[in-house]
């Protein structure tokens, strides 16, 4: 298993912090921009080190939030004006 460096963690944090209100990015988008090989690594970083970040602006490629976060994440995104249809973020209109 590849080791995630502190630089990679900081790059992910920087990218997430830069997502403007009313917009979203996918785990895969963040991974690609940070030079990571897997969107899962971004998920791991978000689970362990995102309390001070706009974590709700990072979403899966399907546009659906994780079940355990869905209500809160969709509420926060909706408050920012993100289009949500049938419990899914409209990535075409909201993706950075």
* Residue with the larger pLDDT of the pair 48 and 22: 22
| Residue 24 bridge partners (DSSP) | 95
Sign of the four-CA dihedral 35, 9, 14, 50: positive
Confidence band of 3 (pLDDT split at 50, 70, 90): confident
Which strand (E) or helix (H) includes residue 93?
A: helix 91-94
C-alpha to C-alpha distance for 58 and 90, rounded to whole angstroms: 13
Q: With 60 as the cut, is the pLDDT of residue 79 above it?
A: yes
- Average pLDDT rounded to a whole number, residues 40-53: 92
Residue 2 pLDDT > 70: no
Residue 47 has φ and ψ, to the nearest 5°, of: -70, -30
Q: Which residue has the tokens 């004006």?
A: 81
Residue 49 has pLDDT above 90, yes or no: no
Span 37-42, average pLDDT: 94
């Amino acid at each position: 298993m590849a080791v995630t460096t502190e630089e990679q963690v900081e790059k992910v944090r920087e990218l997430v912090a830069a997502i403007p209100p009313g917009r979203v990015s996918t785990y895969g988008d963040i991974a690609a921009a940070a030079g990571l090989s897997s969107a899962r690594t971004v998920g791991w970083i978000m689970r362990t080190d995102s309390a001070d970040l706009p974590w709700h602006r990072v979403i899966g490629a399907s546009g659906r939030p994780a079940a355990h976060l869905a209500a809160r994440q969709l509420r926060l995104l909706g408050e920012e004006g993100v289009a949500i249809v049938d419990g899914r973020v409209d990535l075409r209109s909201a993706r950075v």
